[in-house]
Amino acid sequence: MKLSEIASIIGAEFQGKDIEITGMNTLKDAKADEISFVSNAKYVKDIKDTNAAAVLVSQNAATEVPSGCLALMCENPYWSVAILSKYFAPAIEDDSLSAPKIGNNSKISPKAEIANGAVIGENCTILAHVYVGANAVIGDNSVLYPSVTVYRDCKIGNDCMIHANSVIGSDGFGFATNNLGEHKKIYQNGNVVIEDDVEIGSNTSIDRAVFGSTLIKKGTRIDNLVQIGHNCEIGEYSVMVSQSGLAGSTVLGRNVVMGGQAASAGHLNIAPFSTFAARSGITRSIKEPGKTYAGFPLMDHRTWLKLQAKLAKLLK
C-alpha cells in the first residue's frame, strides 16, 4: 500500500516521497518499507532510532520524528493503528499456496484438516479434528491430540506435545477505544513460535503477537487451562501450572515457576529462577533472580507465611 493511500485512510496530511509500505511493526523492529506508531508518551524517546518509513504520531510528538521518516499526525494514533491493521492482515486461508507437505512416517487422521502451505515434519502424530492453518510448521516427532487448533503462520518445534482442545495462535485481546467509548479491533498480524521439547496441556490458549512473535522457549511445561497473552516470552524450562496466566508482552526468564492461578500484569520482566506460589498477583517486574514470592500484593514467600500465621492468631 502506498503511503499516500495510508494517509488518506486515516485522514492524515501527506507530503513527501510516496513509497510502497509492506507492513506495520514496532518502532524498534520496523524496516525501511514499514510503518510504525507511538501511542504512549514513554515511547516517544524511541522514535529517533526507528528505521520505519513513517510513524503515526500525535501532533505533540511529531517534532521527534527523524529526517528521512515521515510523520503522519493523528488525533488518536492507536485508533489509526487499529484501522490500518486490517489492511495488512493476511488472508485466513490462501488457496494459492501449495498443498501441505507431510514428512515421512507421520500419521495424519483422516478427520484432521491441514491447510495449504502447512508443513508437517517426520514421525508426527496428528489426531482427529486437529486444524493446522496456512503456512504453519510442525517439527519432527511432535504429537497434536484431538481438536488442537494451530492458526496460520505459527511454528511448533521438534518433540512437542499439545493436548486436546488447546489453541495456538488465536488473536490477542487487542482493541483501540475512541473518545465515544467505541472499540475497534487491532488485527494481530504476528504469530506464535514454540521451540523444541515443549508440552502444553489441554484447553490452553496462547495468543499470537500483534507484531513479531509470542515465544515459548525450549523445555517449557504448560499445564491445562493456562492463558498466555500476545507478545509474551516464556523462558527455557519454565513451568506454568493450571489456571495461571500472563497479560500481554510479559517476559519470563528461564526456569520461572508459576503456581496455580498465579497471574501477571502486562509488560513486565520476570528474573530467571523466580517462583510464584499459587494465586500470586504479579504487578511489578522482578529483577532479582532465584527468589520465591506469594500473595497479593506480592511479597517474599517467607514474609507471606509469617503474615498468615499472625492473622490466624488474631482470629483465635
Q: Report the catalytic residues.
A: 230
Please report the sign of the dihedral spanned by the C-alpha atoms of residue 98, residue 99, residue 102, residue 104.
negative
User: How many CB atoms neighbour CB 293 within 10 A?
Assistant: 21
Give the separation between CA 175 and CA 212, rounded to whole angstroms.
Answer: 17
Q: Kindly tell me the burial class for residue 242, based on how many C-beta atoms sit within 10 Å of its own C-beta (0-12, 13-18, 19 or more).
A: middle
Give the separation between CA 133 and CA 50, rounded to whole angstroms.
Answer: 33
* Contact (CB, 8 A) for 207 and 226: no
List, in sequence order, every residue forming a beta bridge with 257; answer none if it has no partner. 239, 275
* Contact (CB, 8 A) for 226 and 238: no
Give the separation between CA 80 and CA 76, rounded to whole angstroms.
Answer: 6
